[in-house]
Chain A
Amino acid sequence: MKKVKADPKGVLSGSHYLDGDYAIAEGGLAAGCRFFAGYPITPSTETAERFSERIPSVGGVFIQMEDELASIAALIGAVWGGKKSMTVTSGPGFSLMMENIGLACMMETPLVIANVQRGGPSTGLPTLTGQQDMMQVRWGSHGDYKIIALSPDSPQECFDLTIEAFNLSEIYRVPTFVMTDECVGHMHEKVVIPPAEEIELVERKWYTGPKDQYLPYKNDKDMIPFMIKIGDGYRFHTTGLTHDERGYPVINAECQDVCVRHLNDKITMNADKIIRLEEDEIDNAEIIVISYGITSRVTTRAVRQARKAGIKVGTIRLITVWPFPEKRINELAKKVKAFVVPEINYGQMVLEVERCAAGQTPTVHVPHCGGWVHDPDDILKAIKEAAK
């Protein structure tokens, strides 16, 4: 893995007062994103607007496409053309992107998609928050594949995690998602952008061997194949069909087995390296509240009150949502009385918690159908209930 310093051209160093959407755009620019294709959709549009304003003086392209199918398609083309690329969207647009997210996974194309979630289904609540695409991001395209998804809880983290998303996408050659929501996207807070030389970026895994020996899908020791870019004379082929090391289609069960296992295993086997959690007072906890994104901030208040009431509550904030921290949850399930999982949906990540708890401890869900964040009292009530 080759690390490089950020190009100062894209880095707006200093202390700013930004909303989450803008911070995502700044994170992208700092990470070296020089191609942005998007389609307006509330509450994500500000990211696209910021890109359109900033990228001309950084040396890149912004293009507003005809729809989200085109946005993700253009990203794939631009990445194979050699650029770091990203887009941003919300529910309906995210749904439209699904087919080509699968293509990006199949072709092992590193790119970043931010989803500023709103309430669904369908047009739902365009201007109000939700965390209802957490399963879609994992399973939304057809077939078996794995992606990486991060969930920021503040504008500062929108900036930081967008950079991290680019780094992870390049390391594992996989679409990586910044799963934020309307609240964080539209929340204004202080965002500190460090000097370029303090921002560490992962360079694309460029192939440098002899041209005639390049195989686009031959795994390196770390399971990740080398990449090249269009126009460098490799005359390579890539396809959404099940393919061999040469990138040539092979339509049979054996090749499918190798191909699909690889797409999944490269994430599963590196999960420990990818996963980031923020744990608090876990050691003696009898209850652990697991949350992510904006809900973690609401949870903080409920937890403070629960502790005041004498309940031993620990918290886990999922910074990485996918891959899910299976091992850690399973391990903790042996020790605690219950998990409490508040999230702004009718039951998504809680299913993972339940799966990993594997019957060792109960899991209490605190649903919210979207439109606003939880009332901390509801979370508190659930904690108290679980502690009984």
Chain B
Amino acid sequence: MVHFGNLKPKKGKIHIEKDMCKGCAFCVEYCPKDVLELSEEFNVKGYHPPVVIKEDDCLYCQLCETICPEFAIFVTLKEEEEEGEKGESRP
């Protein structure tokens, strides 16, 4: 991958509200880096929510967040959390 200027590739931290999920797998299917997988576990509604299997690969593209019809998954910028306000704003 080519990075322009001093833009570092972004890293995302994934938050999953397990009990809001209805297991449609949209997020799993459309994550460009296969960061997610449907788990074996059942949530309170009896669906399999996703789990993060490769968080380091997450690009912070937020595709999972936008595609989720249940508002059950969202991503925050990793640097933001680790380095405070220095992190870049959302794209």
Direct contact of A and B (CB under 8 A): no
B residues near A, CB below 8 A? none
